[in-house]
């Protein structure tokens, strides 16, 4: 039985890790390149599945080789794709992601292909009603209807608002766990006390609001009203932060399923993100639950599997 579902728009990522971001007409050296897959809730559901939570995806990809490769990658991670629609004649969205060794920063270039998201009438309500958790990253008629289905049955809806917009904020009443970024906080609240901001957002729907703060960790308030602030967990080397926020979201619902409180969930999610950031892209270093447990217990993560996974993702999968 499916316990978590992402309703979202999967994208594909061409990732390049360089020594530094060059100035115009200058040179930089490529240290690693990778063809992986992304999208906020799409990567989050891969995290949840890899950590043992039975998961599925509802959304749309194109009927092109890129879309076929998306489907295969979800299946490799144990995500059910029976409700992933291949839209005839549509090109699957893609991004170019550039991370650099000098700053540990990343930049994303998004292609503006026409995209036709899942329509409200395309929702499989019987499939959806199986789930305890719904992950969203967009405001559409389908996502609002799906959220209401899950909330009405006592489930949890997690929304990933990576940046502020009025459209994103309209999802507060449709959300029980609203996790967003430092960029949202700075633009929406201009540096106000972060816990005041959490309380302001909680008034409009969610029982939990958390801001992820990059190198500064995260801060939030859970259902019990308790404030918490948590530093980022250290790893030997940060390679690429692409997908760290998405990983945080997916791991958070795994921790919810384990019965942890909001602070415990955030710690589990932070550990998952810390492990992921040791490799390029959002998929290659996704940890299992056992890896997260080991990291939280010892501060170490066994990445012996990583080279094989990186080699797999160095290949262009869109020719499938």
The pLDDT of 130-135, averaged and rounded, is: 97
Residue 319 has pLDDT above 70, yes or no: no
Model pLDDT, residue 130: 94
Q: Is the pTM of this model over 0.85?
A: yes
pLDDT in tens, 141-185: 999 999 999 999 999 999 999 889 999 999 999 999 999 999 999
- Weakest-pLDDT range from 8-22, 32-46, 99-113, 115-129: 99-113
pLDDT given at position 53:
98
The pLDDT score that the predictor gives to residue 112 is 75
Helix orientation angle between 289-298 and 262-276, rounded to the nearest 10 degrees: 100
Give the C-alpha separation, 193 to 307, whole Å: 43
Q: Per-residue pLDDT for 320 more than 60?
A: no
Write out the two tokens for 66. Answer: 């890129």
Q: Are the C-beta atoms of residues 4 and 135 closer than 8 Å to each other?
A: yes
**Does pLDDT of 18 surpass 60?**
yes
| pLDDT digits 0-9 by tens, 234-284 | 999 999 999 999 999 999 999 999 999 999 999 999 999 999 999 999 999
> What residues contact residue 54 under an 8 Å CB cut-off, 6+ apart?
1, 2, 3, 4, 80
Give the mean pLDDT of 81-102.
94
Model confidence at 105, pLDDT cuts 50, 70, 90, reads: confident
Instruction: Report the range of poorest mean pLDDT among 3-12, 112-121, 227-236, 290-299.
Output: 112-121
Question: Which segments of 154-288 does DSSP mark as H helices, in order?
Answer: 166-169, 182-189, 194-202, 244-257, 262-276
Angle at Cα 236 formed by Cα 286 and Cα 250, nearest 5°? Answer: 25
Domains and CATH numbers, the chain: 4-22+30-319 (3.40.1190.20)
Q: Are 240 and 106 in contact, with CB atoms under 8 Å apart?
A: yes
Strands across the sheet with 11-18, in order? 30-38, 11-18, 94-100, 106-110
Per-residue pLDDT of 301-318, as tens digits, reads 889 899 999 999 998 776
Residue with tokens 């989050």: 44
DSSP labels for 239-262? ---TTHHHHHHHHHHHHHHTT--H
Q: Taking Cα atoms as reference points, which of 100, 80, 105 lies closest to residue 22?
A: 100
Interval 135-145 mean pLDDT: 97
């Amino acid at each position: 039985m499916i316990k978590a579902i992402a309703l979202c728009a999967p994208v594909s990522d061409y990732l390049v890790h360089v020594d530094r971001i060059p100035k115009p007409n200058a040179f930089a050296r490529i240290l690693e390149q990778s063809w992986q897959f992304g999208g906020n809730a799409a990567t989050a559901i891969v995290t949840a599945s890899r950590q043992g939570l039975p998961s599925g995806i509802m959304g749309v990809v194109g009927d092109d080789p890129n879309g076929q490769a998306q489907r295969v990658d979800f299946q490799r991670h144990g995500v059910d794709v029976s409700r992933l629609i291949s839209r005839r004649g549509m090109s699957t969205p893609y991004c170019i992601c550039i991370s650099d060794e000098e700053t540990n920063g990343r930049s994303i270039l998004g292609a503006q292909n026409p995209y036709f998201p899942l329509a409200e009438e395309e929702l499989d309500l019987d499939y959806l009603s199986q789930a305890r958790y719904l992950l969203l990253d967009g405001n559409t008629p389908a996502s609002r209807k799906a959220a209401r289905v899950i909330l009405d049955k006592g489930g949890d809806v997690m929304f990933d608002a990576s940046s502020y917009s009025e459209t994103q904020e309209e999802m507060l009443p449709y959300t029980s766990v609203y996790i967003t970024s430092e960029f949202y906080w700075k633009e929406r609240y201009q540096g106000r006390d972060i816990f005041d901001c959490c309380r302001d957002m909680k008034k409009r729907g969610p029982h939990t609001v958390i801001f992820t703060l990059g190198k500064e960790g995260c801060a939030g308030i859970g259902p019990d009203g308790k404030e918490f602030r948590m530093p980022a967990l250290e790893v030997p080397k940060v390679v690429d932060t692409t997908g760290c926020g998405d990983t945080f979201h997916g791991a958070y619902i795994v921790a919810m399923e384990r019965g942890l409180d909001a602070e415990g969930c955030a710690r589990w999610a932070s550990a998952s993100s810390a492990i992921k950031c040791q490799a390029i892209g959002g998929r290659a270093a996704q940890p299992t639950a056992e890896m997260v447990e080991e990291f939280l217990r010892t501060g170490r993560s066994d990445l012996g599997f990583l080279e094989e996974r990186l080699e797999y993702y160095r290949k262009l999968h869109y020719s499938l």
